[in-house]
């Protein structure tokens, strides 16, 4: 190829790059305008297009000799992030059917987006409200792989498992909820404290109770004792739950005390059983009987 041909080829490549940059900048501006106007249809169309254009350029090797390369990369990342944000921004203030469309678009666009992490509470609720509740288990199962500490997903999944007799999964998600709240007592950046605390308050006590009852059913007495003790402030609000927790605490401490010849544990077993017997409900009679047997054994211990 002669010099003229080489020059023409270089100009064509440069021209294509400039055109691509121009398309991205135009799309980005149009997307921002659509968000300002709350134009759902435009955002749903422009967000994936803008993200794709940014990622196409990001996938190309950067020119190390270009002094503006770092600035351009930062710009491209910010554009891609904004494309995710735009979908969430309109979703949270939309009707359920529109929420489903926008969040599904975000899920397809970037299944690991930090904004998608914030969207799942809206998404699961919106699916249920629009008659698509049957899709929720599959959506939650896929999502939890990308967001293993998402409280909305964990709360849904632990309750689903409990309601469907899936005790292994129930225990898995209950222990993950406990670990989440114990390791993140304060709301992450960008999450309102009241919202974070509210989710903790409605899920931590039940998670301790679920885990404790499963451990008791498997004769894991120390784990049962630890979790059921932690559940009592929650369990006391429901007589059946309270009675069950106290009954199993009595059984757990009895077995621990008997195995270790620990009279203090045996006396705890008597105390919890007596408390369970005082709670009206199906556990009361069994708890009363247990308390008599346990007290007799405790009296024999030094």
| Structure-token pair, residue 116 | 């998608």
Cα(110)–Cα(67) distance, integer angstroms: 30
pLDDT at 191: 86
pLDDT at 228: 98
pLDDT at 18: 41
Q: Name which of 263, 211, 268, 261 is nearest 235 in CA terms.
A: 211
Cα(97)–Cα(126) distance, integer angstroms: 7
DSSP state of 147: -
pLDDT value at 102 more than 90: yes
pLDDT value at 65 more than 70: yes
Higher pLDDT, 10 or 274: 274
pLDDT per residue over 157-202, tens digit each?
999 999 999 999 999 999 999 999 999 989 888 889 999 999 999 9
pLDDT at 22: 65
Backbone angles phi, psi at 259, to 5 degrees: -70, -30
Cα(187)–Cα(196) distance, integer angstroms: 6
pLDDT at 2: 54
Report in angstroms the alpha-carbon separations of 12 from 17, 18, 139, 232.
Answer: 9, 10, 45, 73
Give the mean model confidence (pLDDT) for residues 265-284: 97
Residues 6+ apart with CB under 8 A from 116: 84, 88, 103, 106, 107, 110, 143, 146, 147
pLDDT value at 64 more than 80: no
pLDDT at 6: 47
Residues 6+ apart with CB under 8 A from 112: 146
pTM: 0.87
pLDDT per residue over 217-244, tens digit each?
999 999 999 999 999 999 999 999 999 9
pLDDT at 63: 75
pLDDT value at 52 more than 70: yes
Cα(100)–Cα(83) distance, integer angstroms: 17
CA angle 241/246/247 to nearest 5° reads: 100
**Dmax over Cα atoms in the chain, in whole Å?**
106
pLDDT at 68: 83
Give the mean model confidence (pLDDT) for residues 27-33: 97
Q: Given the structure tokens 């491209």, which residue do they identify?
A: 76
Angle between helix axes 239-260 and 284-300 (nearest 10 degrees) is 20
Cα(75)–Cα(81) distance, integer angstroms: 10
Give the mean model confidence (pLDDT) for residues 278-301: 95
Tell me which of 19-23, 157-161, 295-299 is least confident: 19-23
Cα dihedral 237, 240, 241, 244, rounded to 10, equals: 140
Residue 58: exposed, middle, or buried by beta-carbon count in 10 A (0-12, 13-18, 19+)? middle
User: Average pLDDT over the chain, rounded to whole?
Assistant: 92
pLDDT value at 14 more than 50: no
pLDDT value at 109 more than 60: yes
pLDDT value at 3 more than 60: no
Give, for 95, the enclosing helix (H) or strand (E). none
Residues 6+ apart with CB under 8 A from 78: none
Cα(101)–Cα(99) distance, integer angstroms: 5
């Amino acid at each position: 190829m002669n010099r003229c041909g080489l020059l023409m080829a270089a100009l064509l490549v440069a021209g294509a790059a400039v055109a691509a940059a121009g398309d991205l900048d135009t799309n980005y501006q149009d997307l921002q305008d659509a968000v300002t106007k709350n134009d759902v249809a435009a955002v749903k169309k422009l967000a994936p297009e803008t993200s794709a254009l940014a990622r196409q350029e990001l996938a190309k090797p950067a020119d190390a000799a270009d002094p503006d390369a770092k600035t351009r990369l930062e710009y491209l990342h910010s554009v891609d992030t904004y494309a995710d944000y735009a979908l969430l921004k309109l979703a949270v203030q939309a009707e359920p059917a529109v929420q489903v469309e926008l969040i599904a678009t975000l899920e397809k666009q970037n299944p690991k987006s930090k904004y998608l992490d914030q969207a799942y509470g809206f998404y699961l609720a919106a699916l249920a409200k629009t008659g698509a509740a049957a899709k929720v288990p599959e959506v939650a199962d896929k999502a939890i792989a990308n967001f293993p500490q998402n409280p909305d997903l964990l709360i849904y999944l632990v309750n689903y498992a409990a309601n469907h007799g899936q005790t292994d999964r129930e225990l898995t998600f209950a222990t993950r909820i406990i670990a989440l709240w114990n390791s993140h007592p304060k709301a992450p950046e960008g999450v309102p404290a009241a919202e974070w605390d509210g989710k903790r308050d409605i899920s931590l006590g039940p998670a301790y109770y679920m885990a404790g009852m499963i451990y008791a059913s498997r004769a894991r007495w120390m784990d049962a004792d630890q979790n059921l003790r932690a559940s009592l402030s929650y369990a006391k609000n429901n007589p059946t739950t309270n009675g069950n927790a106290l009954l199993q605490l009595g059984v757990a401490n009895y077995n621990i005390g008997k195995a270790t010849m620990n009279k203090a544990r045996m006396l705890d077993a008597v105390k919890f059983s007596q408390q369970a017997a005082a709670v009206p409900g199906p556990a009361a009679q069994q708890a009363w009987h247990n308390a008599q047997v346990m007290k007799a054994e405790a009296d024999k211990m030094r």
